[in-house]
Structure 1
Amino acid sequence: MATIRKLRGRWQGQVRRRGMKPRCKSFDTKQEAEKWARDLEAQVDRFGAAPDTKILETTTLGQLLERYQREISPTKRGSVQEIQRIDVLRRHDLAYRTLIGLSQQDIASFRDERLQSVAPSTTVRELAILSHVLEVAIRDWGLPLGRNVVKLVRRPVIRNERSRRLAGDEEQRLLDGCDRGKIPFLKTLVILAIETGMRRGEILGLKWSDISHNRRVITLAMTKNGFGREVPLSQRAFQALSEWKDLAEIDPSTVFPMKVGALEQAWRRLLARSNVKSLRFHDLRHEGVSRLFERGLNMIEVSSISGHKELRMLKRYTHLSADDLVRRLD
């Protein structure tokens, strides 16, 4: 059993177990001493012995983040974004906490503070990184952490579902705005997004070799969810791509020579020219998926085109037109 006592102005925790050398440590508060004793007893119960926790007393969360950023992040498909997020985490006060003192309350305070300045979705991603860092430290790096404290903290609820679809003549205004712009392939890019429901990154990453003109199919070797898929092209999408191919100086490395940042700027200018309000480029994916349902495709068929692994997530992207549903009921 653990003993907690006040000694010379500080709180000392002491753990005695048969077959192991007694361990004791002093803390500023009684709560810290009790937590240390509980964690140590849990480790003894789990491993059959008390691990050497000195490394936890000298290692900070920031040092773990730096090692993870250097060794683990570069192996991931989203390495650039994750490295940027870890840079933010390493600048936070939480990064200076030693692992021996890192508590559930520290993580909860970090969560609440971040929610004051960033969206819940950003906070959830940051918590996911912290959780995986600790998990790797325990499983792969052999650090004697008794538990992953991030898993004990409630995650913020994300409510970012959007039901924005193209209304009235907005689609035609967008296409007319593309014609008045200076980017010759922007109209093709917008049509492809509407007709296929493909993600922005998938569209910008397209190569001409990915498009089978005989089959009228786009083959995506790797996508966001880690799997490849084939996307059938409507006649409208296929014609738009064929017309752009005839005009373009063929570069086998890319169909649309544009980076994400450039597209974001072009999209803002297009909305201004077209007088379309509150429309994100990602909303075209909502539009495309919803139209696939309105054409009569079932859930499995649509998911094979859109690339959604979970039907629950697919439902979030689906906003069917009530008018179209009424016509189908007649």
Structure 2
Amino acid sequence: MATIRKLRGRWQAQVRRRGMKPRCKSFDSKLEAEKWARELEAQVDRFGAAPDTKVLENTTLGELLERYQREVSPTKRGSVQEIQRIDVLRRHELAYRTMIGLSQQDIASFRDERLRSVAPSTAVRELAILSHVIEVAIRDWGLPLSRNVVKLVRRPVIRNERSRRLTGDEEQRLLDACAGGKIPFFKTLIILAIETGMRRGEILGLQWCDISHNRRVISLKMTKNGSGREVPLSPRAFDALTEWKTRADPDQPRVFPMAPGSLEQAWYRLLTRAEVTELRFHDLRHEGVSRLFERGLNVIEVSSISGHKELRMLKRYTHLSADDLVGRLG
């Protein structure tokens, strides 16, 4: 057991264990002394000896974030977004905490502060990065930490399920409004999104060589879940792509040469022209997946088209029309 005593105006913690040299350290408060002693005892239990805590006292969370950003992030598919998030984390005051002093309460306070300014999903992603940074530091970089404090903190609950479907003549209004824009392929892009349920990134990354006109199939080499898949094209989607190809630049390999940011801006301008409200571009994926179910496809068939690996996730995108279901019931 550790000994905590007040000595010459400061609190001294001393840890004695059989087989190791006694360790002691002075602190301004009793709470800090007790925390240091607990951490050291936990490390002795884990490693069988008292590790050199000086490295923890001299290493800040920001330094670990910087190394992770430099060595680990570039190897990931979503490296650009992760590097941007780490830049935000490195500017936060939490980054200046040393690893010897980083506590569960620090992480919980960071979470609560972030939730006042960002969405729960953003806070969850930031906590996931912090957790993985510490995990890599422990497992790969040999940082003598007894535990990952981020894992001890409750994650915010994400409630971003949407049931928005196209209603009435909204689809036709959107397609008609495309004629008033400056993007010649926007109508084809929207038809493809509705007919296939493909993700925005998959659509924008599509190249002409990915489309098999003989098979009427799109081959996606790499998707969000880390694997490729083949997406069958309905006659409507195939005809729209074929028509656009006759007008497209033959020297442009991409089907829709457009950046994600430009798509978002064009989408909101289109909603204004079409007088459609509260509709996100991602809602077209909801619409497309739901229509696949309404056409009679089963869960396995739909998941092979949409790319969902978990039924739980697939159900979030599935909002079937009650009128269509009544018709199928007879």
Paired residues for 1:151-300 under 5 Å? 151-251=151-251, 253-300=253-300
What is the rounded CA distance, in whole Å, between the counterparts of 1:10 and 1:325 in structure 2?
74
The answer for the alignment partner of 1:105 in structure 2 is 105
SS in 2 for 1:109: helix
Q: Aligned with 2:25: secondary structure?
A: strand
Q: Is the 8 A contact 1:13 1:34 kept in 2?
A: yes
Structure 2: any 5+ residue segments left out of the alignment?
A: none
3-state SS of paired residue (2:183): coil
TM-superposed deviation, 1:309: 1.2
How many Å separate the matches in 2 of 1:187 and 1:30? 68
Report the alpha carbon displacement of residue 59 of structure 1 after superposing the two structures with TM. 0.7
1:34-90 Cα offsets, whole Å, 9 max, x none, are 221111111111111010010110111001101101111011000000000000000
For residues 320 and 44 of structure 1, what CA distance do their matches in structure 2 show?
57
Supply the distance in 2 between the matched residues of 1:284 and 1:64 (Cα, whole angstroms).
Answer: 40
Query: 1:112-151 CA deviation, whole Å, 9 max, x = no partner?
Result: 0000000000000000000000000000000101100000
Q: Which residue does the alignment assign to 2:149?
A: 149
- Amino acid in structure 1 at the alignment position of 2:25: K
State the partner residue of 1:116.
116
Any idea what the Cα deviations from partners look like across 1:86-112, whole Å, max 9, x if unmatched? 000001010000000000000000000
Are 2:310 and 1:310 aligned? yes
- Residue 213 of structure 2 aligns with an amino acid whose one-letter code is H
SS of the residue aligned with 2:136?
A: helix
Aligned partners of 2:148 and 2:228: how far apart in 1? 33
Q: Note the residue ranges of structure 1 that are not aligned, 5 or more in a row.
A: none
Secondary structure (helix, strand or coil) at the match of 2:201 reads helix
SS of alignment partner, residue 21 of structure 1: coil
Which residue in the other structure is 2:85 paired with? 85
Question: Retained in 2: the 8 A contact 1:209–1:252?
Answer: no
TM superposition score normalised by structure 2 = 0.99
Deviation at 1:253, TM superposition (A): 2.8
Aligned residue for 2:50? 50
**Equivalent residue for 2:139?**
139
8 Å contact 1:4–1:14 — kept in the other structure? yes
How high is the sequence identity, in percent, across the aligned residues? 86
Query: Using the alignment, how far apart are the partners of 1:60 and 1:69 within structure 2?
Result: 14
- The 2-side partners of 1:31 and 1:318 are apart by 52
CA distance in 2, matches of 1:53, 1:2: 16
- Secondary structure of the 2:175 match is helix
SS at match of 2:12: strand
Q: Distance in 1 between matches of 2:86 and 2:251?
A: 35
CA distance in 2, matches of 1:103, 1:75: 29
- Are the equivalent residues in 2 in contact too, given 1:166–1:287 (CA < 8 A)? yes
State the AA in 1 paired with 2:313. M
Q: CA deviation at 1:252?
A: 5.1
SS at match of 2:219: strand
Matches within 5 A, 1:60-71: 60-71=60-71
Cα deviation, residue 27, structure 1: 2.1
Deviation at 1:29, TM superposition (A): 2.3
Contact 1:161 1:316 in 2 (8 A): yes
> What secondary structure does 2:51 align onto?
coil
Residues 8-47 of structure 1 mapped to structure 2, 5 A cutoff: 8-47=8-47
Q: In 1, Cα distance between the equivalents of 2:2 and 2:250? A: 73
Secondary structure of 1:24's aligned partner: strand
How many angstroms apart in 2 are the aligned matches of 1:168 and 1:11?
72
Q: Deviations over 1:10-47 (max 9, x none)?
A: 22211100110111112222222222111111111111
Query: Aligned partner of 2:255: which letter?
Result: V
Determine helix, strand or coil for the equivalent of 2:146: coil
| 1:13/1:24 contact within 8 Å kept | yes
CA distance in 2, matches of 1:109, 1:63: 20
- Maintained 8 Å contact 1:62/1:90: yes
1:253 is paired with a residue whose SS is coil
Q: Is the 8 A contact 1:191 1:237 kept in 2?
A: yes
Checking the alignment, whether the CA contact within 8 Å between 1:60 and 1:99 is kept in structure 2 is: yes
SS in 2 for 1:219: strand
